Structure 1
């Protein structure tokens, strides 16, 4: 009987010690990120609709992203790729240049679109609120895209086909040491040069993540919502991020649309390289 009680007590002590160890590890990692000035809160960044730069970015931070994806469009497959560079020229200010591509293999279907460099994309983001007391950050920003025609139309049609104007707002909060939430939202105005028409829709992206104790790894989900005048689309994107090396991360995303009229399942892979990142 005494032996049983002793084993139970040792088990409880061991569990408490393990919890304490995790808490200390998390606290040390969060402290490493947040100890420098100006203030910056550790937040989990979504992998598909990612941020221009970390919220509360510090001057000198920079990052390269390369992404690859595959989407089943019912009658044809769409391959996507992107090359992206983001940097912080000043505290709390992030800038980004991105080249997103859409590739459609030939021979799939007569209605398959032309492969193309979708746009020349430039963006800026400023964190105007960083609260250490509430573990909360807020930012506003703007994305401008100059749309291009398909590769097969180069020299035959106008190279630039339209502009996309996209102001946005972000609010993020860390709950304790491991749980993260973030909302990214804003209107998107697409101006078509061919007829002068302007289409308007709203992007509302909500994100929830759990960061593994003492690491940069996380699991989570994005809810990417697109709202127009007479439609609503949402894609649920379960995801995970893993640290391969100290300055190299890999993100894996699966896309599950709530409506499969124009799109079925999709996958996306993001490689994140941070030159000069400190451990």
Structure 2
């Protein structure tokens, strides 16, 4: 009886030690992740330079440069996408270069391409082209470290280009696009990020001298994985054109490959599927040391 009692207590004691050890290991891991998060935020914000708040940047409608950009920052982006439309497939590619010549000012040059192929049973598709030459600027006018809040305004100008098939019979520039915008971003604690990107888009075509107006309202929420620079999130890309409203939800994730190379993966789910079905987008981000 006594021997049995001691055996049971010995088993309970061993089990208790294992449970305590496991709890301590989990707590140590959680503390390590919190420390890593703090160090990463400190790396971005704590330099002896102008104040800057760390924000998660959306992957599909991205920013011209980090909010609160510091002089010398630069980044290359290569994007590849596929959109399943009702009558045709659209393959997209873009090449971006962005940099900060002075504190808080970001500049960008982008070349977006579109290649179209008719789907089965359809014979017509838009003409493939280099859509435009995009030039953009963004200035962060508010950085509040206490509130973890940043605000910026910017402007994108597009020189619209003809289809590849019309290069000989058309002028080189077929129109202009104008897009002023406002960005408001806030971080909640260490890991949750929200961002609003909004503004009108005007496009003027020389052929018929007409101007089209769209309103963009892009809202975002992201969660940065503890202990990493990786994140998961959602973009809600909303567009208002006259009386029509379109919205595409874009689940996304960013994965760090090396200190300077990141990969963003995006899926597009349109709410209104009259013209478009699902889409996908991949963004390669190279941010050299500065």
The CA distance in 1 between the partners of 2:58 and 2:87, in whole Å, is 29
Q: How far did 1:159 drift?
A: 2.4
Q: How far did 1:19 drift?
A: 2.4
Contiguous gaps of at least 5 residues in structure 1: none
The CA distance in 2 between the partners of 1:244 and 1:60, in whole Å, is 22
The CA distance in 2 between the partners of 1:207 and 1:91, in whole Å, is 25
> Equivalent residues in 2 for 1:227-266 (5 A)?
227-266=240-279
**In the alignment, is residue 27 of structure 1 matched against residue 32 of structure 2?**
no
Question: Which of 38, 46, 50 is equivalent to 1:38?
Answer: 50
Please list the CA deviations of residues 154-190 of structure 1 after superposition, one character each: whole Å capped at 9, or x if unmatched: 1112222211110000011111111111110001111
Question: Which of 135, 138, 156 is equivalent to 1:122?
Answer: 135
Poorly superposed stretches of 4+, deviation over 6 Å: none
The CA distance in 2 between the partners of 1:67 and 1:210, in whole Å, is 22
Q: 1:197 is matched with which residue?
A: 210
Q: 2:109 is matched with which residue?
A: 97
Please list the CA deviations of residues 101-159 of structure 1 after superposition, one character each: whole Å capped at 9, or x if unmatched: 00113786322111100001000000000111011110000000011110000111222
The CA distance in 2 between the partners of 1:237 and 1:96, in whole Å, is 23
**In the alignment, is residue 81 of structure 1 matched against residue 93 of structure 2?**
yes
Asked whether the 8 Å contact 2:50–2:103 carries over to 1, the reply is: yes
Q: How far did 1:269 drift?
A: 0.6
**In the alignment, is residue 165 of structure 1 matched against residue 178 of structure 2?**
yes
SS in 1 for 2:135: strand
**In the alignment, is residue 69 of structure 1 matched against residue 74 of structure 2?**
no
Please list the CA deviations of residues 229-277 of structure 1 after superposition, one character each: whole Å capped at 9, or x if unmatched: 1100000000111111111111110000001111000010111111225
Q: How far did 1:220 drift?
A: 0.6
**In the alignment, is residue 270 of structure 1 matched against residue 283 of structure 2?**
yes
The CA distance in 1 between the partners of 2:119 and 2:61, in whole Å, is 30
SS in 2 for 1:24: helix
SS in 1 for 2:257: strand
Please list the CA deviations of residues 195-254 of structure 1 after superposition, one character each: whole Å capped at 9, or x if unmatched: 211111110001111111232211111000001211000000001111111111111100
The CA distance in 2 between the partners of 1:27 and 1:185, in whole Å, is 30
Asked whether the 8 Å contact 2:118–2:124 carries over to 1, the reply is: no
The CA distance in 2 between the partners of 1:74 and 1:105, in whole Å, is 11
The CA distance in 1 between the partners of 2:119 and 2:194, in whole Å, is 43
The CA distance in 1 between the partners of 2:105 and 2:171, in whole Å, is 34
The CA distance in 2 between the partners of 1:76 and 1:226, in whole Å, is 21
Residues 252, 130 of structure 1: alpha-carbon distance in 2 compared, 3 angstrom cutoff: same
SS in 1 for 2:96: strand
SS in 1 for 2:216: strand
**In the alignment, is residue 175 of structure 1 matched against residue 188 of structure 2?**
yes
Query: TM-score scaled to structure 2, two decimals?
Result: 0.91
The CA distance in 1 between the partners of 2:254 and 2:28, in whole Å, is 27
Contiguous gaps of at least 5 residues in structure 2: 1-8
Structure index of larger Rg: 2
SS in 1 for 2:27: helix
Q: 2:6 is matched with which residue?
A: none
